[in-house]
Structure formats: C-alpha cells, structure tokens
Amino acid sequence: MASLLSTTWSLRARLLALVVGLVVFDAVAVAVAYVLGHVAFGLLPLVGYDTGTLFWTMGFDIVPLWPVILVGTPLVLAVQSIYGYRMTLRGAGTTATESRASDPESIDEMRAEVRRSETTDRLQRRVARLAQTVDMATPDVTVIDAEAPNSYVASRPGEQTLFVTTALVDQLDDAELDAVIAHELAHLKNGDAFVMTAAAFLPTVSALFTRTLGKTVQYSGLCHWFLGGEDRDGTWFAGGNIQIVMLLFAVIAIPVTATLYLASTACYRLLSRIREYAADAGGVAICGSPAALASALETLTDSQRPDTDIRTAETGVRELCVVPHAIEPDEQTPPEGRAERLAHRWRTVTERVLPGSHPAVDDRIDALTERQSTLDQHEQP
C-alpha cells in the first residue's frame, strides 16, 4: 500500500511539473509570436527600401515584451481550452454535430447509421452506470464508424465527450468494455483530459505554421530550381520584393517554429505517457478489475498490430487514445519532388527524436497484472 501511495504521488508530481511546463511553453509561444511579429513588420519596409523603419522596428520599441507575455499567456490558455477541444473533435474525422446532420445516401449507410445510434444508446447507459459509481457527471457519447478499435475523451469546461469506435465495441466483451470506459472516465475524473485537450493546441498550431512557412519557401521563385518544382502558372517570379520579404521571413521563422513544435510536442507526449498509468489505476478503481483492463489492452493490440510505425500518425488525437493507433488510417503516398522528400525526411527524423505517445502496452499490462495479484492476495482468507 505504501508503495502504491508513493507511486501515485510521484505520478501527480510529474503531471504537475509537465502542466507547469506547458504553461511555460505558452509564455514562450507568446514571446515567439512577439518577436516574429516584429520581424515581419520590420521586413515589410524592404518592399519600398525603407531601411530606417526596418531598424526602428527591429529595436522592439513598439510594445514592450513583458506586458505582452503577461496578457498574452492567459489569452493563449483560453484559446487552447476552446479551440483545442474543437481541433480534437475534428482530429477524429467526425463530430457529434456532423454525424447527426449528415443524411445516409444508401441502404448500407442507413443501416450503419441505425446501428451506430443503437450502439450509442447502449454505451450511454453503460457509461452512466459507471459514472454513477464515482459520483461524476456522465459525458456525452459519440460512436465513430472506424475499423481501428480505440477510444478517447475530450474535455473543456462544461462539455465532456467520450469517443468510441465501432470496432472497439465489436471486439471487447462486457467486462473488457467496462474496463476501457472506466479508463476513459478516470481521465475525466483526474482532470487530465482537459489538460491534454488544451495541450494539443500548441503542437498542432506550431506544426501548421511550420508547414505553411515551408510551402512559402517551396513556392518561392528563388528556391524552385533547388526544390525541383514546376512553375505551371508563371507566378513564382511575380511579386518582386514581396517574394524576397516572404522568403526572408520564412527562413528566419522556420527554425523558431520548428523548435517550438519539437519542444511542445515532446512535453505533450510525456504528459500523455504519464496520464495513461494514472488512468489505468483510476479505471481499475472504477471497474474493480485490473484483469479486465489488461485483457482489453491485450485484445486491442494483438488484433491491431500496425504494418507501419504507429508514430507516423499526426500528433493530436492519437495521444488521447487508450492505445496509440490512429482512429483513421493514414494513406501514405510516396513523396514526389525534392520538396516533398525533404518534408518526409523531416517528419521521419522528428518522430525518431520525439518520445512515444504511450508507454509500452506490455508494461501497462504487467502493472495491471501485478495489481490483480495484489487484490487476489488481499481477498484470500
């Protein structure tokens, strides 16, 4: 028991440290936006060769940095809580609103819609029963029609949603399904579902900015020969000085946004790894069966060993899932042209450098098996 309490407090301390780290990253992101904003504003006078304005702007005399950080960091946190939730819903490939608004166009789609609705009703009752055992609000339930068995929760103040794929419902028995749902409810009970939902915002946005800046470089007339592109509409060499300004800004900003992406994603994934152990323990406390959760994890991973590295999926929803499989399989197409090969190489290198989004499933199963053995020993007379 003492060892269990020590482990629990250790997990909480590490979780708190990573949350503080995420807030620090938000402050750094605000500072980065402040600096890059000055750089962009300072480069604009180059269009008219106004070098005096350039040097004045780069002196950072427009607005002081510290007030921007003090005001901007809480704003970023607020934006994370709102748009992080929406981005997470989009990351699953569906939302509750979209699934209700879309009309089936064939008999097969109509049958699938009816089946999904019936499954949602059954799961809602099951979730309500388990949530009642720990006196917590029942989250909304959305069933995703997907071949990958998985589940996750997304949360923001006043709104909580549990996502379950049809494949997960089909492959697990009642005890295993209860255990997986209890695992997800533990995320909500612990409060880390909201933290993770918000934390997904910064890696996603920094990755988007980096890709956009990369496209700016790719379509620059000065780089098109090196990157092996084709100027089909003759626009690459149009724009004159504006092209130079955009290229200079991209060259300056890409290393900054890429570094921010790597750092925030590493923190996000480390947070994901820690929360899985805590949710496993919390799920066991709700369902009362470590063996059922261990069996569910084994079932989900044995039947879904990916043919390719599971870490090639986009950062976002995967870190929230009970097992690290993408909800929808990524269609990997061979990169064409030097620019796409460079982008593919960048993704490959970053995935090798970044930590995995989940602890090893075998380690989680071993920990659950040990918990089951401890419970069995206590139950013996």
The residues annotated with a catalytic role in the active site are 184
Q: Which amino acid is at 123?
A: L
One-letter amino acid at 380 equals: Q
Distance CA 149, CA 326 (A): 9
Residue 159 three-state SS: strand
The DSSP result for 133-155, as a single string, is HTT-PPPEEEEE--SS--EEEEE
* Phi, psi dihedrals of residue 308, rounded to the nearest 5°: -120, 170
How far is it, in rounded angstroms, from Cα 201 to Cα 156? 13
Neighbours of 141 (CB within 10 A): 21
What is the C-alpha separation between 152 and 366, in angstroms, rounded? Answer: 22
β-partners of residue 140 are: 161
Concatenating the DSSP letter of every residue in 27-50 gives HHHHHHHHHHHHHHHHHGGGGTT-
CA 354 vs. chain centroid, Å, equals: 14
User: Is residue 49 helix, strand or coil?
Assistant: coil
Which amino acid type is present at position 241? N
Give residues with Cβ within 8 angstroms of 159, minimum separation 6: 85, 140
CB 277 within 8 A of CB 363: no
Nearest-angstrom CA–CA distance, 182 and 278: 12
CA separation for the pair 310, 6 (Å, rounded) = 32
